Amino acid sequence: MSFSVLASTFANNILPIILLSGAGFALGKLLHVDPRSLGRVVFYVFSPVLIFDLLIHNRLELAEAAIVITFALCFILTMGILTLLVGTFLKLERPALVSILITTMFANTGNYGLPLVSFAFGEQALSYAGVYFITTTLLFYTFGVLVASLGHMDFKQALLGLFKVPALYGVLLAILINIWRVEMPVPVARAVELAADGTIPLMLILLGVQLTHVEFSKNQRAMQLSVSLRLLIAPLIALLFAALFGLQGFSRQASVTEASMPSMVSATVLATEYNLDSRLVTAVVFISTLLSPFTLTPLLVFLGR
């Protein structure tokens, strides 16, 4: 694994993402854009539309999609259990533990993962990455919201809050349209296409804007734990699970890459919405994103062999 190969892989696949996020960072610094408002636009409009569009147009066989979905579910559950065990051993307080559960279990599979898989492995791998992204996002906006809610709410309140998550309805609507083979009217189809095409760039801009509001948490143990698990341990567990599930080729490349991404940007939105330790969540997202090229670049080279 020579330096020239690593440098080329970084420049062609990760640098374009950094440049667009950097534009968002500059925008946030110069124009003081409110990340919460922009985050809500993504949360309530663009993310559900992107999920809907990916489900409508995905042409993978059901068996192929099922393996990727099962891989994602098992991987995320394993990361959650591992975080819970280590966090409990370190005697982290409940808000901190809930916060790092969110940042460690859920990776940035959308605004960072999808373009990275597309650049590195092409459109065929992107189909598998889309399934992984949908699975992660749906789980994030259901189980993730439930976990975040439990930081300050009882189980019943948290469960009722799931019905306020728009991504859920995007998935249900896409499933019904696929089952009934409904053809969308041209104006609606074009509106969906426009919004879906703009979602990833908007997410990258949001990432940059959110990183301008980093306030480092004093809870260094929790922050170091989450970043270490997400960047160092997650790729190893993902490679192990890929072997166990028999993933090969594009499905292996897409699934392992998506599982190895830094913490999900939307975790900061949940932290704000559900009164978690927002400083801790934002710091983990910032540091894991900042350090991710050092772990993702060799991983991409390894997966591309």
Instruction: Give the model confidence (pLDDT) of 82-138 as tens digits.
Output: 999 999 999 998 889 999 999 999 999 987 898 899 899 988 898 899 889 888 988
Residue 224 — pLDDT band, cuts 50, 70, 90?
very high
Which pLDDT score, from 0 to 100, does residue 238 have?
98
Q: What is the mean pLDDT of residues 150-174?
A: 72
Tell me if 193 is assigned to some domain.
yes
- Measured over the CA atoms of residue 240, residue 246, residue 248 and residue 252, the dihedral's sign is negative
Residue 162 — pLDDT band, cuts 50, 70, 90?
low
Residue 179 — pLDDT band, cuts 50, 70, 90?
confident
Q: Is the pLDDT assigned to residue 151 strictly greater than 70?
A: no
Neighbouring residues of 95: CB distance < 8 A, sequence distance ≥ 6: 151, 152, 276, 277
Tell me if 9 is assigned to some domain.
no
Tell me if 158 is assigned to some domain.
yes
Residue 233 — pLDDT band, cuts 50, 70, 90?
very high
Structure-model confidence comparison of residues 149 and 126, the more confident one: 126
Structure-model confidence comparison of residues 46 and 273, the more confident one: 46
Tell me if 154 is assigned to some domain.
yes
Tell me if 2 is assigned to some domain.
no
Contact 277, 271 (CB under 8 A): yes
Which pLDDT score, from 0 to 100, does residue 35 have?
80
- Measured over the CA atoms of residue 11, residue 14, residue 19 and residue 22, the dihedral's sign is negative
Q: Is the pLDDT assigned to residue 206 strictly greater than 70?
A: yes
Q: How far apart are CA 51 and CA 112, in angstroms?
A: 15
Q: Is the pLDDT assigned to residue 215 strictly greater than 90?
A: no
Neighbouring residues of 71: CB distance < 8 A, sequence distance ≥ 6: 132, 241, 242, 245, 247, 255
Indicate the pTM of the whole model: 0.87
Instruction: Give the model confidence (pLDDT) of 56-91 as tens digits.
Output: 887 777 888 899 999 999 999 999 999 999 999 999
Query: Terminus-to-terminus CA distance in the chain, angstroms?
Result: 10
- Domain region containing 261: 38-204+215-303
Of 217-226, 235-244, 269-278, least confident by mean pLDDT is 269-278
Which pLDDT score, from 0 to 100, does residue 1 have?
63
Q: Is the pLDDT assigned to residue 210 strictly greater than 80?
A: no
Q: What is the mean pLDDT of residues 215-237?
A: 90
Tell me if 59 is assigned to some domain.
yes
Which pLDDT score, from 0 to 100, does residue 156 have?
65
Q: What is the rounded (10 degree) CA torsion for 145, 151, 154, 157? A: -30
DSSP string across 273-301: HTT--HHHHHHHHHHHHHHHHHHHHHHHH
Tell me if 82 is assigned to some domain.
yes
Number of neighbours of residue 249 by Cβ within 10 angstroms = 11
Residue 160 is part of a domain; what is its CATH number? Answer: 1.20.1530
Residue 227 — pLDDT band, cuts 50, 70, 90?
very high
Q: C-alpha 269: how far from its chain's center?
A: 12
Of 10-14, 149-153, 210-214, 270-274, least confident by mean pLDDT is 149-153
Tell me if 121 is assigned to some domain.
yes
Q: Is the pLDDT assigned to residue 275 strictly greater than 90?
A: no
Q: Is the pLDDT assigned to residue 278 strictly greater than 70?
A: yes
Neighbouring residues of 152: CB distance < 8 A, sequence distance ≥ 6: 95, 274, 275
Count up the domains in the chain and report the number.
1
Which pLDDT score, from 0 to 100, does residue 219 have?
82
Burial 257-284 (b: 16+ CB within 10 A, else e): bbbbbbbbbbbbbbbbbbebbbbbbbbb
